[in-house]
Amino acid sequence: MAAAAAVSGVLGRAGWRLLQLRCLPVPCCRPALLPRAFHASIMQLRSSEEQKQQPPPSFSQQHPETQGMEEPHPESSRSPPRYTDQGGEEEEDYESEEQLQHRILTAALEFVPAHGWTAEAIAEGAQVCMVEQTTALELDGVVGGLVICFTQIPRTKKEESGGVLLKIKLLLLEEEALVSLGLSSAAASMFGNDGSELILHFVTQCNARLTRVLEEEQKLVQLGQAEKRKTDQFLRDAVETRLRMLIPYIEHWPRALSVLMLPHNIPSSLSLLTSMVDDMWHYAGDQSTDFNWYTRRAVLAGIYNTTELVMMQDSSPDFEETWRFLENRIKDAMNMGHTAKQVKSTGEALAQGLMGAAVTVSTAQLIPAHPPPAL
């Protein structure tokens, strides 16, 4: 009751002026912000109500020295830090620019099939992030607080105050839309126009997914829950797993490869390629420390890129021709052995690994993604 009285007092100073508006038109040039004091009062009311419903403190809460032994919750460990502004009020959901970029790019991948690797896809991703980050709790708290206070209004005044409450909700939604537009504009200036950041982010995400798959399989083998496969079969499945991640974006992948081959993107794309093939060989059990270490990775990089070329031109069901080509190339590589032919092919394979993307783009651009039917 004390909290409700406090909120009613705030309405007495500020809220009743809104009620006097009755059905007057609300200017739409710029949404008016609710007073921070009113917002703070509402949140204080909700906080006090939540505290009444909280259960008694647990043993770990009564003995904070034992909390260090508990494993943190995954969600809480990923929650962004808090900071205090100049007014002394604690702000939540603060994140660094890198974290915001990561969330936007991750959300933008959903729109690549429709918009390609473009600024439009990034803008759509920014919109999604805004909706997720929009203070849903804060919005519900303000409107919910108004509803609580609305119940304190005498019945004779509820009809005229209901219109004002509706206007307040519309103002909040209008403010949310303006914030969304502002975030989209900020995203446009945060990233380049060629989609480089989005493509590199996608490749990084795919490599991380592949590493998790290979690591999980290694754990199963160590626990005796799965059999260790031969090296050629392991590498074949690893390359296929990685290439299958391109299928949802295969129509726009030639464009992505052309962007990755731009001079300013070559160091990053080459680093991602070498890191990927290194992980494949590592989980395959390769322990070489001589020249074969470089040879094997260069050959596998060439196999990956040439198979990628075949995949972009493959129209067979489930890319069956691509996987058959991949299996043959893996067998050829494993049958070469430690011969002079292998050493000679190392340089060719390395060049293939570096320039395979460029060849893929130039060839794929000459062949339509969906060739016309034969007459």
Q: For residue 228, what pLDDT is reported?
A: 93
What residues make up the domain containing 265?
196-366
Q: Is residue 40 part of a domain?
A: no
**Same-domain pairing of 223 and 318:** yes
Q: What is the pLDDT of residue 134?
A: 58
Are residues 288 and 334 both part of a single domain? yes
What does the mean pLDDT of the chain come to? 70
Beta carbons of 31 and 175 less than 8 angstroms apart: yes
Specify the DSSP element, H or E, that contains 46: helix 36-53
- Structural domains in the chain (count): 2
The residue from 169, 191, 213 where one domain ends is 191
Evaluate whether residue 302 is within a structural domain: yes
Question: Domain check: are 201 and 341 in the same one?
Answer: yes
What's the confidence (pLDDT) of residue 303?
96
Dump pLDDT digits (tens) for 148-181: 444 444 545 545 544 544 554 444 444 444 444 4
Could you tell me if 164 and 209 lie in one domain?
no
Residue 116 inside a domain? The answer is yes
Q: Are residues 205 and 316 in the same domain?
A: yes
The answer on pLDDT for 22 being more than 80 is no
pLDDT mean over 59-63: 47
Cα separation of 300 and 346, whole Å? 10
85 part of a folded domain: no
Q: Within this chain, do residues 158 and 234 fall inside the same structural domain, yes or no?
A: no
Residue at token pair 């060049």: 351
Q: Average the pLDDT over 14-19 and give the result.
A: 44
Indicate if the pLDDT at residue 355 is higher than 60.
no
Same-domain check for residues 2 and 149: yes
The residue with greater pLDDT, 347 or 121, is: 121
Do residue 207 and residue 344 come from a single domain?
yes
Residues 292/340, Cβ–Cβ less than 8 Å: no
Q: Count CB-CB contacts under 10 A for residue 304.
A: 23
Does the structure show a pLDDT above 50 at 142? no
pLDDT at 364: 43
Specify if 43 maps to a domain: no
Alpha-carbon Rg for the chain, nearest whole angstrom, is: 29
Q: What proportion of the chain, given as a percentage, has pLDDT over 90?
A: 40
Domain identity same for 206 and 349: yes
Q: Which helix (H) or strand (E) covers residue 60, if one does? A: helix 59-62
On whether residue 47 sits in a domain, the answer given is: no
In a shared domain, residues 179 and 207: no
How many CB atoms within 10 Å of residue 38? 19
If one compares 142 and 246, the residue with the highest pLDDT of the two is: 246
In a domain, 81, yes or no: no
Summarize the confidence of residues 343-356 as an average pLDDT: 50
CATH number at residue 313: 1.10.357
What are the tens digits of pLDDT across the range 272-304?
999 999 999 999 999 888 888 999 999 999 999
Q: Is the pLDDT of residue 308 over 80?
A: yes
Q: Single out the residue in 191, 225, 253 at which a domain terminates.
A: 191
Report the 10 Å Cβ neighbour count for 142.
20
Q: Are 183 and 230 found together in one domain?
A: no
Domain final position from 168, 191, 214: 191
Whether 4 and 119 share a structural domain: yes
Query: pLDDT tens, 85-132?
Result: 545 444 455 668 888 899 999 999 999 999 999 999 998 988 888 776
Helical packing angle, 231-244 and 320-336, nearest 10°: 140
* Pairwise CA distance, residues 236 & 332, whole Å: 12
Neighbours of 317 (CB within 10 A): 7
pLDDT at 287: 85
Which of 142-146, 197-201, 227-231 has the least mean pLDDT? 142-146
Residue 290, domain member (yes or no):
yes
